[in-house]
Amino acid sequence: MTEYAAIIPITIVALSAIAAMIAEAIRRPGERMPIAGFGLIGAGGAALASVFLWNSDAQSFGVIRSDNFALFINIVLCIVGVLTMLFSHETVEREEIPAGEYYALTLFALCGMMMMAAATDLLVIFVALEILSLSVYVLTGIRRASAAGAEAAFKYFLLGGFSSAFFLYGIAFAFALSGSTRLEQISVALSSQTSGAPPTVALLAVGLLAVGFCFKISAVPFHMWTPDAYEGAPTIVTAFMSTGVKAAAFAAFLRVFLSPLEPLQAQWIPVLSVIAALTMILGTVVGVAQTNVKRMLAYSSIAHAGYLMLGIIAANSTGKAAVLFYLLTYAVSNLGALGIVALMGSAQHQHDELRDFAGLWKARPGLAGLMTVFLLSLGGFPPMAGFIGKWYIFSAAVQEGHYWLAIIGVLTSVVSVFFYLRIVVMMYMTEGTEVVRPRLPATAVAGLAFATIAVFYLGILPTRVLDLALASIETIF
């Protein structure tokens, strides 16, 4: 049993996905079946399993390791999964999305994300990357009647295929360097190199692996797919992939670059520094010009990827722990904001334009208040969670002397407040047309309540979670 302990959370999610598929297959036409329940059971069960496995450092098959780092990411991903399920019921029915397909694909994507965070072999990371990618490609275009969704899925698929090829070539060069795809063997091979310039094969491996990771985290110049995919996908899918995919990709990014590739920091830190600076600047500047809320939050996601990269570039314990904490704060804030956008929509119109929020304070004051909380957290206002996340990320960069990156991060964060406050101003200070707002189901209310409590808890009492993040990074770094 010990040999299989590390894969228990992943197995629970996979079994839930299979159960959702079977339920859809046996469901009679027109029969209502609570398939979302399988998702809640799977994500909740995986979270509980991750809690029970804490400090166990279990390994399965030599390539999956449930150290505290992977378990922390598992819990973040399970929170993303639970919130997605809570927000999905209304939108899946309203937009006539095939429920069995949607929930099964979401759970399989979650399964790939968890595997990606726990893998200690580059080939297993690649397999996990493809499991989550293929699921998200289909989810992006799951509304078959939507031309925009089909276009977004096609662009995402094509560009994702190119990035996977780069990543696979990076694995090939890493294998040529060390004779293995295991991270510990690559680390030994690089550490044994004599002083002097690193071999060309090592530099090629680092560069190609970085391209694959940068695509998944939406870093410039590999961000081109993000605005179109976020706008064309159903809003709840946008919420899921903007948080879950980013968390899984950054987990693998941290595990690969700050463990086996640490001896080559002098080569990759300057390159990632430039990418991080461009990502923060472009995400903020272009985001200011957007009038579609989903595109605006897409460029916001790009900017947040730049902030998160500062933790990797700092490469100290504060930066590593700050990345984990930031992923959690970003997940609850962004899912809350996009969850409200999804819940506001109707079968005829997604209500994702800036003007659709005009007068929301009068029509639905509760939703307007919660949207304000989530937007201010994304903007980094105290006492919201986003402020603490940015504080620790920028502190880590300053500790290692990356002052110029910290300055760019602070300035772009200040500028980004403009496009968050545009929505707030529209809700409170602009007269809107009378629009029938749908009633919120109890599941959605529960999801919004959880996200709101998490935003304030992480902003006011972050010490416990930060300590857990610090403890988790010590298991692998």
Q: What is the pLDDT of residue 434?
A: 59
Q: What is the pLDDT of residue 85?
A: 93
Q: Can you tell me the distance from the alpha carbon of 474 to that of 54, in angstroms, rounded to the nearest whole number? A: 13
pLDDT at 73: 95
Q: pLDDT grade, residue 322 (50/70/90)?
A: very high
pLDDT tens-digit map of 113-164: 999 999 999 999 999 999 999 999 999 988 887 888 888 899 899 989 889 9
As separate numbers, helices (DSSP H) first and strands (DSSP E) second, the chain gives: 20, 2
CB 72 within 8 A of CB 476: no
Q: What is the mean pLDDT of the chain?
A: 89
Burial class (CB in 10 A: 0-12, 13-18, 19+), 151: middle
Tell me the average pLDDT across 309-315.
Answer: 93
CA angle 257, 475, 326 (to 5 degrees): 65
Which residues constitute the domain of residue 93? 2-473
* Residue range 390-424, pLDDT digits in tens: 999 999 999 999 999 999 999 999 999 888 999 99
Q: H-type helices in 53-98, by residue range?
A: 68-94
Q: What is the pLDDT of residues 158-182, one digit of tens each?
A: 989 889 999 999 999 999 988 889 9
**In 10 A of CB 393, how many CB atoms?**
27
CA distance 104 to 36: 9
Percent of the chain with pLDDT over 70: 95
**Looking at per-residue confidence, does 95 or 272 come out higher?**
272
* Structure tokens belonging to residue 390: 């940015």
Instruction: Give burial (CB, 10 Å; 0-12/13-18/19+) of 441.
Output: middle
pLDDT digits (tens, 9 = 90+) for 238-268: 999 999 999 999 999 999 998 888 888 888 9
pLDDT of residue 354 exceeding 90: no
Q: Compute φ and ψ for 65, nearest 5 degrees.
A: -130, 120
**Helix axes of 403-429 and 293-314: crossing angle, nearest 10 degrees:** 160
Is pLDDT of 334 > 90?
yes
User: In the chain, how many domains are there?
Assistant: 1
- Burial class for 315, CB neighbours closer than 10 Å (0-12, 13-18, 19+): middle
Does the pTM of the predicted model rise above 0.75? yes
Predicted local confidence at residue 358, as pLDDT? 83
pLDDT for res 347? 63
CA distances from 307 to 342, 405, 413, 463 (A): 26, 9, 9, 21
Cα distance between residue 56 and residue 77, in whole Å: 19
Task: Check residue 198 and report its DSSP letter.
Answer: P
What confidence score (pLDDT) does residue 145 get?
79
